[in-house]
Structure 1
C-alpha cells in the first residue's frame, strides 16, 4: 500500500501534462488499457471467468468506480479543490463504518483513532495549500455530489473484502481487478458518450497517448491490483487510510519542482500523516 500511495501520488503530475480531453472518456480508455495489461495475467488463472454468483458483485464494484470518477469529474466544475480535498479525507472513516455494517471490520478504538489522526494531517495539508492559493471551504451541490462519490470509493474495498471472505469473489487479485475495472470502464464510457464531446479524443497527441498508456498500466492496473492484493490481509479502513499519503507524495513533488514553496505551514499536516501511517504499519487488529 505504500507503493500504491506513491504510484497514485505520481499520477497527478502525469495527468496535469495531458491536453484538455473529455475526462470520463479518457478514464474509460485508461481502464481499457489497464484491462489489456491485466489480460496477460488473467488468461492463465483458473476460473478467470466470473460465475453467476460473482458477476452481480463485480457489477456493483464497477458501479462504485463509475460513481466515484463520474462524481469527481462533475464536481470538479462545481466545487472548490479545497472542499473536495477536505471531503476526500472522510473515505477511510466511511470505509470503516461501512465495513462494520458489512461485518468485515471489528468494532474497536485503535483503528478509528489512527484514521482520525491521518484525516487531521491530510486536512492540514489541504489547508496549507489553500493558504497559498487563497481557496475557501464551502458546501454546495458540487460538494454533495462529490461526497456521494466518496461513499462509492469507500464502498469499493468493502465489497471486495466481503466477497473475498465469503468465497463469492475469486482468490486471484488480478481477476478481481480485471473484472471490476472492466465493468467500471464500460459504465464510465457509457456516461462519457452521453454527456461529453467524445470526438475531441481525435485531437489526442502522441504524448497524450504515451501518458495514457502509462496511466492505464501504472496508475490503474497496478494500483488497483495492489489494492486487491491488500484486501486479502487488510480491512477496508486500513486500506483506504494509505490514501492519506497521496497528498504527501504530491507535496514532495511540488517541493522538488518549486523549492521556494517550502514553508512551515506544511509541517503539521505532514507530521500527522507520517505518524498515522507509522501507527498503521504497527497496528495489530487482534489487539483491539
Structure 2
C-alpha cells in the first residue's frame, strides 16, 4: 500500500498536464490499456472466467472506478487543486462507513481515530501547498462532481471485500482487477459515446498518449492490483487510509522540483500523516 500511495500521488500531476479531452472516453481508454497490461497475469488463473454471481458485482465495481476517474479528469479543469485534495481526505472515512453498512468493517474506536489523525495531516499538507500558490478552498460544481467520484472510489474496496467474504469473487487479485476494469471500460465508454464529443479525441497529442499509457499501466492496472491484494487482508477503511500519503508524495515531488517552497508550514501535516500510517501498520501487525 505504500507503493500504491506513491503511484497514486504521481498520477495527479500527470492528469493535470493533459489536454482537456472527453473525460469518460479518456477513462475508458485508460481502463482498456490497464486490461491489456493485466491480461496475461489474469488469464493464468483457473478462476479467470466470471460466473453469474460475479458478473453484476464486477459491473458495479467497474462503475465505481469509472465514476472516480471520470470525475477526476473532468474536475481537474473545473476545481482547484486544494479543494480536490481536501475532498479526497474524506475517502477513508466514507469507506469505513460504507464498510460498516455492508458488514465488512470492524466496529471499534481505534480505526476512526487513526483516520481522523491522518485526515488532519493530509488536510494540513493541502493547506500548506495552497499557501505557496495563493489557493483557497471553495465548493462549486467541479468540487461536487469530484466528491461523487470520492464516494465511488470509497465503495470499490467495500464491494470487493464483500464479494470475497460472500464467495462471489475469486481469490486472484489480478482477475478481480481485470474484470472490474474491463466492465468499467465498457460501461463508461458507452456513456461517453452518448454524452461526449468523442471526435475530440482526435486532438490528442503525442504527450497525451504517452501520459495515458502511463496512467493505464501504472496508475490503473498496477495500483488497483495492489489495492485488490490489500483488500483481501485489510478492511476497506484501513486500505483507503493509505491515501493520506498521497499529498505527502506530492510534497516530496515539490521538494525535488522547487526546494525553496518547502518551509515549516509542511511539518505539522507531515508528522500527523507519518504517525497515522505508523499506527495503521502497527494495528495491522497486531491484527495479524
Residues 4, 183 of structure 1: CA spacing in aligned structure 2 closer, same or farther, 3 A cutoff? same
Q: Structure 2: 5+ residue runs without aligned partners?
A: none
Q: State how far apart, in whole Å, the 1-side matches of 2:10 and 2:284 are.
A: 29
Residue 195 of structure 2 corresponds to 195
Map of 1:162 onto structure 2:
162
User: Aligned partners of 1:139 and 1:7: how far apart in 2?
Assistant: 27
| C-alpha distance in structure 2 between counterparts of 1:207 and 1:73, whole Å | 16
Which residue of structure 1 lines up, in the alignment, with residue 47 of structure 2? 47
Secondary structure of 2:132 counterpart? helix
1:146-173 residue CA offsets vs partner (Å, 9 max, x unmatched): 2222111111000000001111001110
What is residue 272 of structure 1 aligned with on the other side?
272
Query: In 2 relative to 1, CA 284–8 (structure 1 residues): closer, same or farther, beyond 3 Å?
Result: closer
**For residue 205 of structure 1, what is the aligned residue in structure 2?**
205
In the alignment, is residue 246 of structure 1 matched against residue 246 of structure 2?
A: yes
Ranges in structure 1 where 5+ consecutive residues have no aligned partner = none
Structure 1 CA distance, aligned partners of 2:78 and 2:29?
Answer: 24
What is the distance in 1 between the residues matched to 2:221 and 2:110? 32
Cα shift at 1:286 = 6.6
Deviates more, 1:69-78 or 1:36-45: 69-78
**Rounded Cα–Cα distance in structure 1 between residues aligned with 2:229 and 2:119:** 24
Within a 5 Å distance, the mapping from 1:87-126 to structure 2 comes to 87-126=87-126
Instruction: Calculate the TM-score normalised by the size of structure 2.
Output: 0.93
Which deviates more from structure 2 when the two are superposed, residues 210-219 or residues 53-62? 210-219
Q: Deviations over 1:122-146 (max 9, x none)?
A: 1001111221222222334443332
Q: Partner residue of 2:79?
A: 79
Match of 2:191, SS state, is helix
Aligned twin of 2:228: 228
Which residue is equivalent to 2:62? 62
Equivalent residues of 2:23, 2:70 under 8 A apart: no
Task: State the match for 1:282 in structure 2.
Answer: 282
Cα distance in structure 1, aligned partners of 2:255 and 2:70: 30
How far off is 1:80 after superposition?
Answer: 3.0
Residue 133 (structure 2) pairs with residue 143 (structure 1) = no
Q: Which residue of 2 aligns with 1:261?
A: 261
TM-score normalised by L of structure 1: 0.93
Q: 2:85·2:247 contact (CA, 8 Å) conserved in 1?
A: no
Q: Is the 8 A contact 2:25 2:193 kept in 1?
A: yes
Measure, in 2, the Cα distance between the counterparts of 1:19 and 1:258. Answer: 24
